[in-house]
Amino acid sequence: MNILVPGKKRNRKRSGASTKQQKTVKRFSGGVVWKWTLLAGVGALCVYAGMTTPQFVETVSNQRVEHVIIEGEVNYLSEQEVLGAVNNFISESLLLVDMEEIKQVLEKMPWIRTVTISREWPDTMVLSVVEEKAIARWGGNKLLNQDGVIFSPTDIIGLENLAILSGTVGTENTVMEQYMLFNELLYQRGLKIDELSLDERGGWKLTLANGVNINVGKTDVMKRMKRLVDFADPLFIDQMAIIDSIDLRYTSGIAVRNKSINAEEVVSL
């Protein structure tokens, strides 16, 4: 069996066969009703063409899956892992293979968000894959998608530069939403979050890509971050290399601690 994986990072060439031109395939249900409806319809055509019913049944029953095509933009999904997962289910004919069971197995794979499965007669199974999009890392080697849901690939090679988010169990979506809101504000000053954490008491702390630590606290967090953005003019941004930390837990100001001295300077706004 061959596997063909179209996409901007995949090789379309298939050894031992010419490249099959792809076409849009309408998705059908894998249920028994559909199978037997198709069987009856094609059987009628075959009888009309001169093929006897036993010949038709034998032809269809012996037609195995020979090719698997993966459609969609695939960047991290391994075609070999997909083939390994599908391989256990394709010993039957293309017509009788259980598409729903294959779908359930594939959607348990870390990088697959959703998959739609269809048939291309006579010997091809088409997997239309939507891959997970990693927005940030969670803790060590886990990832968060755009919905704040954790998924855990075997490795995160190439994704080490994503921000690291952390929090207590069940706060993944909350942390993800706050990360995106903070990022939107800080982007105005060319600042980027490297780490963001939510502690057990509800306090927010973050580390910028330039190494500056920021204590946001528990309340009025967006108001406090807006205050920092308003204060962070280009001159202040240029001086951030000498800043160790910033504390936003003040009613009308911020506290800045320089690396060279062990003291804080409170700036009123």
Percent of the chain with pLDDT over 70: 73
Of 131, 156, 182, the one marking the end of a domain is 131
- Which pLDDT tens digit goes with each residue over 209-246? 999 999 999 999 999 999 999 988 887 888 888 999 99
Q: CATH number, domain at 94?
A: 3.10.20.310
Q: Does residue 268 have a pLDDT over 70?
A: no
Residues 58 and 73 in one domain: yes
Domain shared by 54 and 176, yes or no: no
Final residue before a domain boundary, out of 100, 131, 162 = 131
Q: Would you state the pLDDT for residue 249?
A: 95
| pTM exceeds 0.85 for this model | no
Of 82, 109, 131, which marks where a domain is finished?
Answer: 131
Are residues 193 and 109 part of one domain?
no
In SS3 terms, the chain reads as CEEECCCCCCCCCCCCCCCCCCCCCCCCCCCHHHHHHHHHHHHHHHHHCCCCHHHHHHHHHCCECCEEEEECCCCCCCHHHHHHHHHCCCCCECCCCCHHHHHHHHCCCCCEEEEEEEEECCCEEEEEEEECCCCEEECCCEEECCCCCEECCCCCCCCCCCCEEECCCCCHHHHHHHHHHHHHHHHHHCCCEEEEEECCCCCEEEEECCCCEEEEECCCHHHHHHHHHHHCCHHHHHCHHHEEEEECCCCCEEEEEECCCCCEEEEEC
Containing domain of residue 91, as a range? 2-131
Average pLDDT value for residue range 180-192: 94
